Structure 1
Amino acid sequence: MLRRLYDWTMSLAGRKSAEVWLAVIAFIESSVFLVPADVLFVPMGIARPERAWRYALVATVFSVLGGIAGWFLGHFAYTQIAVPILDFYGKLDTFEALRNSTSPDWVLLLLVTSGLAHLPPIKVVTILSGAVGVNLWLFIASAIVARGARFYLIAFLLRRYGEPIRHFIEKRLGALFAAVAGVVIVGATAYHFLF
């Protein structure tokens, strides 16, 4: 099923309505969808590198708006809507463990790491942010920074290197972001225990 969903998302890149689909997928990725917006953003940026910055803006804005929707799900409709969504994706146990063991400050850290590297998945963290009561304005600012950094870095790479960078983005950029996220988490953990 996941492969079919991935292939369908990739097929949207060639349509005239691709930019609208990018907005839709960036929005729902941040609250309920399984496939990241990068899957659509990268082929669009390769096909039209002169629009890469515009695509990054669309992806960032709608990803943040989707994150706000996830925050509202977690804050106001956790039992009615969020629990069935998380259960459907098999993330409910992970979510409950995070919810019961983290503070709003740690959730903000997770928002940055998930925004950059999908660690943990962004939809889990946006819903978690609302469920544990992270300040909405701080949440929005963190989401803008994390998601914007990811999408604008991809846009920069696409503008600068075009098609040859595709393999790096698809295969190695996630690992690079994961390494950065890991350093951030280790640094924050060390700071927390030392001070």
Structure 2
Amino acid sequence: MQIFSKIYQKSLDWAQSRFAIYWLSLVSFLESCVLPYPPPDVMLAPMVLKRPNKAYYFAFITTISSVLGGLLGYVLGDILLDFLLNYELIKPASVASIKLAFDEYGVWVVAIAAFSPIPYKLATISAGSMSMALLPFILVSLVARAARYYLVALLVKTYGAACDLWLQKYIDRLGYGLIIIIIFGVWYVG
């Protein structure tokens, strides 16, 4: 069964859609404030793979949309944190750990979350709930998000064709292998 191959091909086809840039913008915006997954990289990479001449344009759109979403996250944190916690839209333990990190590292928490796989929305909401200065928040978000998305665009533009060939050949094995690892991990922990 080639389930993962079909999904991969569908994502590549979808990346060529005339609406792909709008979906990329929307996902980038929402992922920065409320949407749990997928990260915009999952959409950015196939779009760059299919249109490498627009790689940096896609990275720019992703960056701007993500930072605007981060501003909404900041506002949510500033205005609605108690509401979000009461209705369990945010895990209190996640916010508490981010607040501890803010106390120790300040604006660097935003930079790390904006660049790394750590959910950026936790940093944006926490920054708002702590009334972090807005200008440093915006500047650090712009720099870190741009670094992340431009790096993805550069890597996919440079190595994407070779990776695409490799993925087309092995993606089903990788997908099933990942499922086996997850099942084993759940069984082992449980």
Output the TM-score relative to the length of structure 2: 0.73
1:16 lines up with 2:18 in the alignment: yes
Task: Indicate the percent of aligned positions where both proteins have the same amino acid.
Answer: 29
The correspondence of residues 1-195 of structure 1 with structure 2, limited to 5 A, is 10=11, 12-34=14-36, 35-80=38-83, 82-83=84-85, 87-88=88-89, 91-99=91-99, 101-103=100-102, 106-119=105-118, 121-165=119-163
Question: How far, CA to CA, are the matches of 1:76 and 1:106 in structure 2?
Answer: 23
Worse-superposed segment, 153-162 or 46-55 = 153-162
Residues 135/24 of structure 1: CA separation in 2 closer, same or farther (3 Å cut): same
1:124-152 alpha-carbon deviations (Å, 9 max, x no partner): 11000001111011000000010000001
Tell me if structure 1 keeps the 8 A contact 2:76–2:128.
yes
Give the deviation of 1:112 after TM superposition.
1.1
Give the deviation of 1:104 after TM superposition.
5.6
Tell me if structure 2 keeps the 8 A contact 1:31–1:66.
yes
Q: Which has the larger radius of gyration?
A: 2
Worse-superposed segment, 135-144 or 106-115 = 106-115
Residues 97/114 of structure 1: CA separation in 2 closer, same or farther (3 Å cut): closer
Tell me if structure 1 keeps the 8 A contact 2:107–2:137.
yes
Secondary structure (helix, strand or coil) at the match of 1:124 reads: helix
Residues 157/40 of structure 1: CA separation in 2 closer, same or farther (3 Å cut): same
Question: How far, CA to CA, are the matches of 1:147 and 1:134 in structure 2?
Answer: 18
Output the TM-score relative to the length of structure 1: 0.72
Question: How far, CA to CA, are the matches of 2:121 and 2:102 in structure 1?
Answer: 18
Tell me if structure 2 keeps the 8 A contact 1:12–1:21.
no
Gaps of 5+ in 1: 1-6, 172-195
Question: How far, CA to CA, are the matches of 1:97 and 1:21 in structure 2?
Answer: 31
Q: Which has the higher contact order (CA 8 A, sep 6+)?
A: 2
Tell me if structure 2 keeps the 8 A contact 1:113–1:146.
yes
Worse-superposed segment, 9-18 or 144-153 = 9-18
Tell me if structure 1 keeps the 8 A contact 2:111–2:141.
yes
